[in-house]
Structure 1
């Protein structure tokens, strides 16, 4: 433990499973207090037990402007500071062209784009002057698989949004970056592939991604968590507005 986040307070949306949970564990290991959000109290309770001391759960809908605004203000009031916000909550309503519904589209945009933007807007006046906002993107921003057109479009939109937001945030000291994982073996990856391509194709797609990767494998969620620690720490104090791909080199080939 290097304690690179000692004394810092972070909010991680969708922090009860997969990449969000892994980020929370790494933050706590580095000395931070973390507040993880989810829709279900049972999931929050289990995540807090798993993460351990210095972790807290809060029910909040990432697509609700009012709920996220109230949550962030409560965290600042309860803990005296807010140092990092990791926008990780995601809706994964995937479908191939011809089967996409308006309901799926609205849910994806509501959580994955609107929710992220307004979480950032609510967080900005509350963050410390050396605060960090991290959007969890995806290599789908540049190479979305079949059946994931809405998801890919939204993740690609992060790049343009952040390029503008860092100009709005000039002189605040707050940095805004995108952490874009490649394929990571999580339950959400399996669900996404099943929805996009069918249950009979999910395993084959995972194996294909691993074979194409220069690393020869798909990622582990802890590896994403360690990069998130870097982006939230003083070690990345001059890193601002980037999309950092953590994908074993797959994007480069």
Structure 2
């Protein structure tokens, strides 16, 4: 039997990478899947390629009016949410001496503020027994040159999961965190790292390779399904051992 039969799920940033792989797997497991894409260009591309599989909504999570429009659509069309994968985020590396206020704000507006209100505005729609998965990163606890801004945003995400688990009844919503290590996704083209830095990162992973979006999707499915019913407020590292040894 499908693990997510008839569940209504939302995957933010579901138009590429980990989000897209997760949306596809959720769909295969019987869920009705809504995905968001940030820009007009990415929305139109996702709508053309995946519009028959998913309900695609253009949403910039850093804009509260976009979130209001997204949740109004979900309420009117589906009436509830059973699963939410808060995956949308940005990642760029800059040395602290080079980082501008604009660079700092862009990360915090999306990765922290955007995620926070993605969850808070979803609460009235989340059905009893729903599962929320927050996408963080192994870099929330492992230092890496140039990652100070990005890493701190992901540490905030981990903190949110703890606080929400303490605040919101667990029988209503389960909050857990998926923290990937380096994953082969389009986001690595935007990090500002040199080829040597990327190769060096891979060499420093005990498993000696980057992970795949499909591997992350399987963990998201586990956290979304009843298979993880006794896992609450936890952080699962899927990092090839990068942050563990």
TM-score bin, normalised by smaller chain: over 0.9
1:84 is aligned to 83
What per-residue deviation string (whole Å, max 9, x for no partner) do you get for residues 148-198 of structure 1? 111101111222222111111115520111101110011102311x2xx4x
CA RMSD of aligned residues (A): 1.7
1:251 is aligned to 243
What SS is found at the alignment partner of 1:245? strand
State the distance in 1 between where 2:130 and 2:184 align: 30
1:233 is aligned to 225
2:67 is aligned to 68
State the distance in 1 between where 2:166 and 2:93 align: 33
Unaligned runs of 5+ in 2: none
Unaligned runs of 5+ in 1: none
Contact 2:33 2:55 in 1 (8 A): yes
Q: TM-score, normalised by structure 2?
A: 0.93
1:124 is aligned to 123
Q: TM-score, normalised by structure 1?
A: 0.90
Residue 121 of structure 1 and its aligned partner are, at CA, apart by: 0.6
Which range is displaced more, 168-177 or 205-214?
205-214
What SS is found at the alignment partner of 2:102? helix
Contact 2:176 2:234 in 1 (8 A): yes
What per-residue deviation string (whole Å, max 9, x for no partner) do you get for residues 184-240 of structure 1? 011102311x2xx4xxx2x22332233232322110111111111111111111211
1:177 is aligned to 176
State the distance in 1 between where 2:212 and 2:68 align: 32
What SS is found at the alignment partner of 2:129? coil
Which range is displaced more, 87-96 or 130-139?
87-96
1:153 is aligned to 152
State the distance in 2 between where 1:70 and 1:144 align: 37
Pairing of 1:27-42 with structure 2 (within 5 A): 27-42=26-41
Which structure has greater helix proportion? 1
Contact 2:79 2:125 in 1 (8 A): no
State the distance in 2 between where 1:171 and 1:135 align: 16
State the distance in 1 between where 2:105 and 2:118 align: 18
Residue 74 of structure 1 and its aligned partner are, at CA, apart by: 1.8
Contact 1:15 1:36 in 2 (8 A): yes
